[in-house]
Amino acid sequence: MNKTKQFYARWKSDYDFKTVTASLGSLAVTVIFALYNGFLGVHHASLWHGTICAYYLVLSILRGFIVLSEKKIKGPEGAARARNKIYLSSAVLLFILNLSLVVPVSLLVLLQKPVKMSLIPAITMAAYTTYKIVMASVNLKKRKKSENKLVRLLRTINFIDALVSILTLQNTLIMVNMKGEGNQMLTLSAVTSAVIMLTVLVLSVAAIRKGIVGLKNCGSNIGTQ
C-alpha cells in the first residue's frame, strides 16, 4: 500500500517520471495495435494495414529506445552528452518514421482505407481521438517544465501520434458518411493530410536541429574544460 502511495505521489510531483511511465503504457498499446494491423495486413493482403503495422512498429521501437536509454543514464558525468546523442538518434528515427507515413496517408487521401464501421463506433472513435489530441497538445505545451530533452521529445512524439490519429478519424468519418460527394471529400482529405504531414515533418526537422546544436554545445563545453 505504501508503495502505491509513493508511486502516486511521485506521479503527481515528478513530471519526468510521469512522462516516462505513461510512455511505457503507450508503448504496450502501440505494440498491440501494430500486431493487430499486421495480422489484418497478412490475412486480407491489405496494403493499408501492412503500412500502418510498419509505422506503429517503428513508433514502438522509438519509444522503447528513448525510455530504455533514459533509464540507463546514470549520474551527471557525461549524462548531458549521452542524452544529446540519444536525442539526435531518436530525432533522425522520428523523421524516418514520419516519412513512412507517405504510403498510408496517400491511401487515406484517395479514400482507399478499408472501413467496416457503423456511425456509433465512429463517434466513439471521434471522442477518444479528441481526448487524445487535447491531452497531447496540453502536454506539448507543458514539456518546457522539464529540463530533460528526452522527456520533451517523448511529448513531441505523443503529439505527432495524436495528429496521425486525426487523419485516420477523418477518413473513417468520411467513409461512413459519404453520400456521392467523393470529389469534395477527396479535396478535404488531401488538404488536411498535407497540413498535418507538413506539421509532423517540421517538428521532426526541428528536433534534429536541436539535437545537432545540443551535441555541438556539449563538445564545446568539454573542449573548454
Q: Note the pLDDT of residue 183.
A: 63
Q: Note the pLDDT of residue 205.
A: 93
Q: Note the pLDDT of residue 198.
A: 92
9 vs 128: CA distance, rounded Å: 27
What is the DSSP code string of 100-114? Answer: TTHHHHHHHHTT-S-
Q: Note the pLDDT of residue 202.
A: 93
| Of 6, 4, 54, nearest in space to 34 by CA | 54
| Of 140, 113, 131, 129, nearest in space to 199 by CA | 140
Spell out the per-residue pLDDT of the chain, length 225, in tens. Answer: 577 777 778 777 788 888 888 888 888 888 998 898 899 889 888 888 899 899 999 999 999 999 888 887 765 555 777 888 899 999 999 999 998 888 888 888 887 777 666 667 767 777 878 888 888 888 888 777 788 888 889 999 999 988 888 888 877 777 776 665 556 677 877 888 899 899 999 999 999 999 898 888 776 554 444
Q: Which three cell numbers stand for residue 58?
A: 517503428
Q: Say what the pTM is.
A: 0.83
Q: Note the pLDDT of residue 209.
A: 93
CA 180 to each of CA 107, 142, 183: distance values in angstroms, whole numbers, following the listed order = 19, 43, 9
Contacts of 27 (CB under 8 A, 6+ apart): 60, 63, 64, 67
